Structure formats: structure tokens, C-alpha cells
Amino acid sequence: MSTVKNYFSLIKFSHTIFAMPFAIIGFCLGIEAFPGKYKWGLGSMIGWGNDITNFVGWERVLKLLVLVILCMVFSRSAAMAFNRYLDKSFDAKNPRTAIREIPAGIIKADSALLFTIVCSALFIITTFFINKLCFFLSPVALLVVLGYSYTKRFTALCHLVLGLGLSLAPIGAYLAVAGKFDWLPVLFSLAVLFWVSGFDIIYALQDEEFDKSNNLHSIPAALGKIKALKVSEWLHVLSALLVIIAGLYGSFGLFYWIGVAVFAGMLVYQHSIVKPHDLKRVNIAFMTANGIASLVFAVFVIGDMFLK
């Protein structure tokens, strides 16, 4: 059990709360896009209606949901383990990260790399059982989420690459069900891109001086704390605007807009507690505020679709 716990810590499994709710939103959008293919709504969920395919449809939906969740877990685990493997020398020199599993000697570097390879393979295999489109696009998705780990070595835009990786969650889950692209899940993916990029900049404020002294790139290292926070604010404004545009485009109801209010409120809250001269509450802004934003927003969005 201790080994499992160590690997859960290595990949920061609790951070799955950021992208997973948006993946479920994309999944539900895919179901709603094909009302004749998958039964949706309160009535069909509890078995109302005379058509026995209600139950067959939901059996297929549940199978797809499990596969989508597995894809999320495998891809994110591969990305995090690879990031820890690649950054092991920097983590060892940084007092904030020296306690991480690889520099602390809890997990060997080669074991983390093997874990990355296994999770990557499992991700591709899982997409094979979803549909051909997801399977053919799986190497592209891996290229993005694994490639992020290199970006801090040459560009301050690394935060946007991280955001791009997590933004694949809603559109990827939608493709798993619908098998085609659509504007609505793309809007949600763009919202995730700017949301994640914004809060990653806030998190990177802690390492501004370390990044400068080790030739690593980030928005805080390039612009300083004050300007970096301004960039983060504007990225979060864009994210909020995109969920509003998605709501108008998708003709959502009251529940959706309550979710938008909570999401936007959490964005405002995290910027209110993190100041250039006071970073004590960065972790609250990073984990608590964004975790609540993602989870509560998803509950209200899915609730809105479910009750139509």
C-alpha cells in the first residue's frame, strides 16, 4: 500500500479534480448531441418509457464513461510522472520541491520513467476500445501532455502548453461519444486552456527567483510577480467570457448560469488572496479555489443538461 501511496503522491492524483469535471461535461455534451443514439434525461435514466433500448443505451454510456475516465487517469499519470522524471535535477536543487519522491529517493527515476511508458501504453490501448478517431488522435494527445515537460526550458509560454494539455479533456470526452468535432465542447476546451494557464502562473510565482537562477522560463521569471498576476487575471477573464459564450451558444438554463457565477466567483477569490508581496495563500488559490470552481461548475452544467 505504501508503494501505491507514493505513486499517487508522485502524480498528485488529487489534482485530477481540475480537468476531470470538464471531461464529464464533454462526455455529457456528446450524449446530448445524439438523443436518438443515447437515451438522455431524467425519464430514460430511471427507466421510464416503453423502449427496452433505454437500458441498452445506458449500458453503452456507462462503458464509455469508464473508458473516458481511464483515459484521463492514464494520460495525466503519464504526464505527471514524466514531468517529475525530467525535472528531477531541478527539483533536487529547489528547496520547495526537494521533498518530492524522486529527489528524496522514495521512487527511483527509472521506475518513474517505466511508469510513464506503461501509462502511455494503457492510454493508447484504452482509446482503441472507444472509437477509431480517438485511437488515431491518441499519439497527438500524448505528444502535447508529455511535451509540456520540456517547454519550461525554452519558453515562458509553458503555462499555455499545460493549459492546452488539460483542455483536451472536454473535447476528448466529447469525441469518445459523438465521434466528431463540435463548437460547444471546443468552447469549453478553450475555457479550460485559459483557466489552467492562469492558475499555473499563480503557482509559478513561488519559483520566480529559482527559475531565473537556473535558466528556466516562466511568466513570473520573465515579467516579475506584479505583471505575471496581471497576465493571469486577463487569462481568467478570457476563461470566464468563454463559459458565458458557451452558455449562450448552447442555450443553457438557470442551473448553468448558477455554475458560471460560482466559477467566476472562485476566479475572483483566488486573485483577491494572492498578492505579489504575499504568497502564503498560493496553495489555497491553486488547489481549493480551483477545485471548487471545476467541481461545482460541472455539477450545475450537468444538472442543467440532465433536467432538460
Domains of the chain (ranges plus CATH)?
Answer: 2-306 (1.10.357.140)
> What distance in Å separates the CA atoms of residue 145 and residue 165, rounded to the nearest whole number?
5
Question: What is the SS3 assignment for 84?
Answer: helix
**Segment 175-211, tens digit of pLDDT:** 999 988 999 999 999 999 999 999 999 999 999 999 9
Task: Read off the DSSP letter of residue 38.
Answer: S
Output the pLDDT for position 2. 82
Question: Are 205 and 220 within 8 A, CB to CB?
Answer: yes
CA dihedral 134, 140, 141, 142 (to 10 degrees): 120
Q: Phi and psi for 228 in degrees, rounded to 5?
A: -60, -40
**Segment 224-267, tens digit of pLDDT:** 999 999 999 999 999 999 999 999 999 999 999 999 999 999 99
Radius of gyration of the chain (CA): 20
Asked if pLDDT for residue 13 goes beyond 80, the answer is no
What stretches of the chain show up as alpha helix (H) in DSSP?
2-10, 20-33, 42-45, 53-86, 88-93, 109-128, 132-151, 158-178, 183-204, 208-213, 219-223, 225-249, 254-273, 282-283, 290-306
Q: Considering the entire predicted model, what is its pTM?
A: 0.91
**Segment 21-40, tens digit of pLDDT:** 999 999 999 988 765 555 54
* pLDDT average, residue stretch 155-182: 95
Instruction: List the one residue out of 246, 248, 242 whose CA is nearest residue 267.
Output: 242
